[in-house]
Amino acid sequence: MRGRCCHYPGRMRPLAESMAALREIVATPAVSALAAAFQAEGHEFALVGGPVRDALLGYPVSDLDFTTSASPDETRAVVEGLTKQIWDVGREFGTIAAKVHGETVEITTYRADTYRDDSRKPDVAFGDSIEGDLVRRDFTINALALLLPEMRLVDVSGGVEDLLARRITTPGSPETSFTDDPLRMLRAARFASQLGFTVEPEVQAAMYEFSSRLEIISAERIRDELVKLLSTDDPVPGIRLLVETGLAELFLPELTALLETQDDHGRHKDVYEHSLTVLRQAIELELERREPSTAGPDVVLRLASLLHDIGKPATRRFERGGVTFHHHDVVGAKLAKKRLRELRFDNDTIKRVARLVELHLRFFGYSDQQWTDSAVRRYVRDAGEELERLHILTRADVTTRNRRKAERLQHAYDDIERRIDELAEAEELAAVRPELDGEQIMAVLGLPPGPEVGRAYKFLLELRLDEGPIGEEAAAERLRAWFADGSG
């Protein structure tokens, strides 16, 4: 319908413009048909939450959420008169989804549910008024509804005023709100970054007080909120809020552990602040280098940037008046794997993030002694599909205030990228393989399939990386000599 961009204007547009934007949404075939159908059956029907907020802020609206006085069965009966594409996936929570005139919509019966102290799921109770439904929502800026088709804005808790003031607060007490649904605490952090708004002090205090309540929320829901936060233009304000309120300690303790490496004596840089700076710089480079066809933020890169130094607390040593973090890249990769598994990330994401964390130090030292072509080939081989992300992460990892050092590192990485491009053009470097495949190896050496063929393949790969392409005939000759020498 209307494409979602990454940037929020953040300031509420004039009311006349806002209402014009809302009328544009209401005039679409899907919304006008739904509004007329629910009105004909005597049910209240309203556009609610995020779409109303975004329209008031001048942000393109993509997801359409509606609320109604109709029960789920009544909602389904109304929608069946408009489309056959209906899903009951959220029926137990009062939500019916459908595709109407090409638009995917969700329609939820007025709600009044709460969480029990020991439950990850709410006790579902349906409400009887739009006002009651709005009061139970997470934040005042989302507790906004536009009743249709009459186009009446319902704001029961000062949401419009809070949009104007650029603040995040709850319709009722934050203590009640976060007790009802603890995930709202993570959403507060996400909206702080997404909108550039300030979370009110009493809300922050409640986040700190009720942080342990997050333990009843499933890892999957926490993961999804973390991904949404990292997908904003600037996740740092939200991340700071999560750390300061103690929430991050519950699901990302490796991040808060970086605070332990802060050094008041100036023996090394602040690893926590450094990590946040790297994340910001990586996002800037990501956006600069992103292909036009790329869809959405690079969550793998952003996770790796945030977590790249989480191995430092465990490896910090004080030696000869200084501080070392030997092997923090390897330790960090293991910690990243463990944490992302516990947050139920998919295996591909876990593998990619861990590989970037493991490799993020590999480049440093190139500026002191230029690598051989063989070393450059190995760098590309080891990075594999993560090479472009590794380029960005390594550049973003330079946060020194020493201008001369920063420029030297930038020039060094410019040089290695140039050499990679030159070698790639000459050798098809991105797909470095031995010049003989398994079948050819068996033919040259007269071997059946088995471990010896694998060892021969590895020998030829090392030869390829060390010397570049030498041709199949020379490769076969070197292979025979290696095998005759007993190395196989």
Please report the pLDDT score of residue 455 as a whole number.
86
Domain end position, chosen among 165, 198, 214:
165
Question: Among 67, 71, 83, which Cα is nearest to 30's?
Answer: 83
Q: For residue 94, is it left (φ>0), alpha (ψ between -120 and 50) or beta?
A: left
Q: Are residues 388 and 442 in the same domain?
A: no
Burial annotation 104-128 (CB, 10 A radius, 16+ → b, else e): ebbbbbbbebebeeeeeeeeeebbe
Answer yes or no: is 178 within a domain.
no
Answer yes or no: is 74 within a domain.
yes
Q: Are residues 414 and 460 in the same domain?
A: no
Residue 448: helix, strand or coil by DSSP? coil
Q: Are residues 22 and 108 in the same domain?
A: yes
CB 78 within 8 A of CB 41: yes
Round to whole Å and give the CA distance between 416 and 285.
Answer: 17
Q: Are residues 444 and 424 in the same domain?
A: no
The structure tokens 């030997």 sit at 326
Round to whole Å and give the CA distance between 335 and 316.
Answer: 15
Give how far Cα 472 sits from Cα of 440, 476, 477, Å: 10, 6, 9
Round to whole Å and give the CA distance between 152 and 111.
Answer: 20
Please report the pLDDT score of residue 93 as a whole number.
83
Round to whole Å and give the CA distance between 214 and 245.
Answer: 12
Provide the number of structural domains found in the chain: 3
Q: Are residues 258 and 377 in the same domain?
A: yes
Q: Which domain holds residue 451?
A: 438-484
Q: Which token pair is 428?
A: 């098809």
Answer yes or no: is 226 within a domain.
no
Answer yes or no: is 465 within a domain.
yes
Give how far Cα 358 sits from Cα of 100, 307, 330, 370, Å: 48, 11, 5, 21
Torsion of CA 298, 303, 308, 309, to 10 degrees: 150
Round to whole Å and give the CA distance between 449 and 453.
Answer: 6
Domain end position, chosen among 130, 165, 200:
165
Round to whole Å and give the CA distance between 79 and 85.
Answer: 9
Please report the pLDDT score of residue 26 as a whole number.
87
Neighbours of 327 (CB within 10 A): 12
Q: Are residues 290 and 416 in the same domain?
A: yes
Please report the pLDDT score of residue 5 as a whole number.
39
Alpha helices in 156-298, H assignment, sequence order: 159-165, 174-180, 183-195, 201-209, 219-230, 236-244, 248-251, 253-256, 271-289
**Angle CA(149)–CA(152)–CA(157) in degrees, nearest 5?**
140
Q: Are residues 140 and 32 in the same domain?
A: yes
Neighbours of 100 (CB within 10 A): 21
Q: Are residues 411 and 362 in the same domain?
A: yes
Residue 115: helix, strand or coil by DSSP? strand
Q: Residue 77 sits in a domain of what CATH number?
A: 3.30.460.10
What is the radius of gyration, based on Cα positions, of the chain?
28
Answer yes or no: is 379 within a domain.
yes
Q: Are residues 419 and 444 in the same domain?
A: no
Q: Residue 334 sits in a domain of what CATH number?
A: 1.10.3210
Q: Which token pair is 219?
A: 């890892």
Answer yes or no: is 273 within a domain.
yes
Q: Are residues 357 and 338 in the same domain?
A: yes
Answer yes or no: is 265 within a domain.
yes
Answer yes or no: is 15 within a domain.
yes
CB 367 within 8 A of CB 404: no
Q: Are residues 4 and 152 in the same domain?
A: yes
Q: Are residues 418 and 470 in the same domain?
A: no
Domain end position, chosen among 165, 186, 217:
165
pLDDT in tens, the chain (488 residues): 333 334 455 566 666 677 777 888 889 999 999 999 999 999 999 999 999 999 898 888 878 899 999 999 999 999 999 999 999 877 888 999 999 999 999 999 998 755 555 555 666 678 889 999 999 999 999 999 999 999 999 999 999 999 999 999 999 999 999 988 999 999 999 999 999 999 999 999 999 999 999 999 999 999 999 999 999 999 999 999 999 999 999 999 999 999 877 654 444 468 999 999 999 999 999 999 887 766 789 999 999 999 999 999 998 888 776 788 888 999 999 999 999 999 999 999 999 999 999 999 988 766 666 778 888 888 888 888 899 999 999 999 998 888 888 888 888 888 888 888 877 766 555 556 788 888 899 998 888 888 888 888 888 888 887 777 888 888 898 898 888 887 65
Burial annotation 307-317 (CB, 10 A radius, 16+ → b, else e): bbbbbbbebbe
